[in-house]
Amino acid sequence: MSEAITTPRKSARKAKGDGHLRRAEILEAAERIFVANGYEGATIRKIADEVGVSSTALYMHFQDKGCILLEICERTLRLLYERNSEIAAKPLDPVVRVQMMLEAYMRWGMEHPNAYELVYSGRPQVPADPWPEDTNNLSTQCYEVFRNVVREIAAAGRLRVGTAESAAQSLWMSCHGVVALLASRPAFAWADRDDLVTVTLDGLLNGLVVD
């Protein structure tokens, strides 16, 4: 698993003229600081120190920390949307596609706990100004692609209980709980992560879906 929440580490200041500063480097550092300190506790200076550049150099890439947080969340949601859309379009049984989408979601969260916490755990405060409509729409679309495949299962009369909406939400919420606990409690003696994914998905789908 990638590193969970940690105290931001201060990087050595990069020498002047030491190559181009990549936006990805700023975003990765900002993820760590937003998770560790919350939105209000993060500052441009802290992010710049984590990367090892001056605040002035960082401002050349981002206007403020709100812009940094927005790009982190947009990038995360775009990746999840693309993965869901790709899986949803496969000519496979809908139960298989749902399982693939949930597994991809869980494994992504385990590999990127900092970005996952920012987007899905919702603890860091966000800018007062509302985010662009496109960003909110992207978040909704991620869920809708998944829900639509669950609707295929419901339409075929294969749900043991509940509706397509309650089934989709319960599946998502259950998987979120596993990923969120792994990210927020890294010191706990968790079982093998592959086993956790398999047991969670098999238990959920075998209990909910009629063969």
Domain segments of the chain: what residues? 72-208
What is the C-alpha to C-alpha distance for residues 20 and 193, in angstroms, rounded to an integer?
Answer: 37
Given a cut of 90, whether residue 176 has pLDDT beyond it is yes
| Helix, strand, coil tally for the chain in percent (to 5) | 70, 0, 30
Give the largest Cα separation in the chain, rounded.
65
Give pLDDT, residue 126: 52
Q: How confident is the model at residue 24 (pLDDT cuts 50, 70, 90)?
A: confident
Give pLDDT, residue 113: 79
Q: How far is CA 37 from the centre of its chain?
A: 18
Domain 72-208 = CATH 1.10.357.10: yes
Nearest to 132 by CA among 210, 71, 198, 58: 71
What is the C-alpha to C-alpha distance for residues 55 and 163, in angstroms, rounded to an integer?
Answer: 51
In three-state secondary structure terms, 158 is coil
Residue 2 DSSP symbol: -
- What the block records as the tokens of 174 is 């259950």
Contacts of 7 (CB under 8 A, 6+ apart): 36
Give pLDDT, residue 192: 96
- In this predicted model, what pLDDT tens digit does every residue of 159-171 receive, in sequence order? 999 999 999 999 9
Given a cut of 60, whether residue 69 has pLDDT beyond it is yes
Contacts of 49 (CB under 8 A, 6+ apart): 10, 11
Give pLDDT, residue 32: 87
What is the C-alpha to C-alpha distance for residues 26 and 40, in angstroms, rounded to an integer?
Answer: 18
- In this predicted model, what pLDDT tens digit does every residue of 122-158 receive, in sequence order? 654 455 555 566 666 787 888 999 999 999 999 999 9
For residues 31 and 3, is the Cβ–Cβ distance under 8 A? no
Give pLDDT, residue 129: 55
For residues 186 and 116, is the Cβ–Cβ distance under 8 A? no
- What the block records as the tokens of 59 is 């401002």
Mean per-residue pLDDT for 97-121?
A: 87
Q: How confident is the model at residue 101 (pLDDT cuts 50, 70, 90)?
A: very high
